[in-house]
Amino acid sequence: MRTRSGLVVCVLIAAAIVLASIEPRLHYSFPSVIDDWVGIRDSPEQLREVVRLGSPEVQRYRPGFVAWNALQWHTLGAPSEFGGPQLWGLLRMAVLVVGVTLLAALLVGRARPDWGWRDPRRLLVVGAPVAALTAPSLAIDLARYGPQEPLLVGCLACGAILLVPALDALLDRRPLGGRLLLGTAAGLVLWAFGVLQKETSLCVLLLAPFLLPTLRAQRGRWASLDRRRRAGAIAMLVGILVPFVPMLLRTAQLAFADERLYGEIADEKSLGERLSDQVVRVGEVMHSHLPAAVVVSAVVLVAVAAARRGVDWLSVGLLVSGLAFVAFAAEAGVVASRYYLPTIVLAALALARAAVALGPRPVTVVGAALVGLGALQAIDARGYVEEWVTTERARETLVREAGARRAGGCDVRYTGLNVELVEAVPVLVPLADGPPRDCADGERFVVVIDPGGPGTESPPDDPVLAPCAPEPEPVWSSEIGKIVRCTA
């Protein structure tokens, strides 16, 4: 099997397994009341602010995500039609899977002649993305359209894949054809788009010092460059670093602001306790022990490879950068599955690279374990995504019930203690097509959305419910919320 066709097969296998884990999402065609409604309502105005080089969010800086939201929810017929968002969602998944798979192939290196055509490294190339991307919670994050980490990781990986060959061609003094120049431009755009997804992309900068040994080894190639090629290589390096400048400046501003995102949550515990939470709760949050096993195995194998073959600074850098993402999340004080995605991917890449350094047998064992355990994890993940879709359908039913009354000319108002859903439902109601419900004279309805559980029901003196007399009459309810009739 030739190298290029082998890579295509690896990408297709990894993509098929990851796609199977989120397959129930493909059969659900309505925006989510978590995050999607914000993109529908706010992204056009936010994008205009980004184009003016402003920051549309007071406590965040994520211009790349704002641009993606505008594409996803305001092109190809969206938000009134859902085909466009589904296509953008599939592209997002493809960028992530292709990027991680090809980056794994790049990091494990070229085939060794003594291994023959049945190169066991292809197990690593498939296993790294499969094991890293199919944890049940991460499958839900990939099925959802809100998390930024899939594009952060995917765009950075794809950007690196396109930029490394271009830099090699410059250093080798090979002709720079149109395809290579186009690939360089695309790589810089993808890289910048990944960096600008969110503030945690700054953790990638920690890779820089670990690349110095590699750059030092290329000193002879740099010295032999003519002035034109040296200028091109330097311009490429500048293009890689430039997107970090606004991200670094804005993140520093946010760090020293009086109010920080999740500041109240972070203040409840010390940094040590928050770091402990990130480490101890990984299995609970991910609904799988494989992600933690990948990270631990990567640390162990990198250490073993260093003892036997010498330190591979790139592998060490991947682990350091991955752990920095965990520290960044700990600083915010929030333990969420999506925050682990960069860490798990970087650890899987370091694990694959360390296995190659130890020889064919470790490559086969590690690669087979990653593929096998990742495939089993994907089966489990599919069930979790199916449960998530069921919950989303229940929330959609609430939106459609409210929309039917609104379509019939009813006065519909919204209240409750579940703040996000109370804001989200009115945004999504215009998208809920269905038969209208008639209203009687003087009749109005209130959609009440509470979190559920003891002490979480809206009180009778709630400003929206209080005018109902003698008391609100329930006409529809579910575990998500209820609709009551007011006649006053």
What is the longest distance spanned by two Cα atoms in the chain? 88
| pLDDT tens profile 182-206 | 989 999 999 999 999 999 999 999 9
Specify whether the CB–CB gap between 469 and 438 falls below 8 A: no
pLDDT above 90 (res 143): yes
Least confident of 283-292, 360-369, 396-405, 479-488: 479-488
Task: Determine the pLDDT at residue 1.
Answer: 37
Could you tell me the CA-to-CA distances from 395 to 137, 141, 150, 407, 456 in Å, in that order? 20, 18, 25, 18, 18
404: which 2 tokens? 């039917």
Least confident of 246-250, 352-356, 461-465: 461-465
Quickly count helices (H) and strands (E) in the chain.
Answer: 20, 4
- Of 408, 417, 473, which Cα lies nearest the Cα of 440? 408
Query: Is this structure's pTM higher than 0.85?
Result: yes
pLDDT above 90 (res 451): no
Could you tell me the CA-to-CA distances from 72 to 43, 81, 453 in Å, in that order? 10, 11, 35
Sign of CA pseudo-dihedral 100, 104, 110, 114: negative
| pLDDT tens profile 346-404 | 999 999 999 999 988 999 999 999 999 999 999 999 999 999 999 999 999 999 999 99
| pLDDT tens profile 354-369 | 999 998 899 999 999 9
Query: Phi and psi (nearest 5°) for 218?
Result: -95, 15
- Of 409, 413, 405, which Cα lies nearest the Cα of 437? 405
Please, which contacts does 410-413 make with residues 24 or more away whose CB atoms are closer than 8 Å? 410/437, 410/439, 410/443, 410/444, 410/445, 411/439, 411/443, 411/444, 411/445, 412/444, 412/445, 412/446, 412/447, 413/444, 413/445, 413/446, 413/447, 413/464
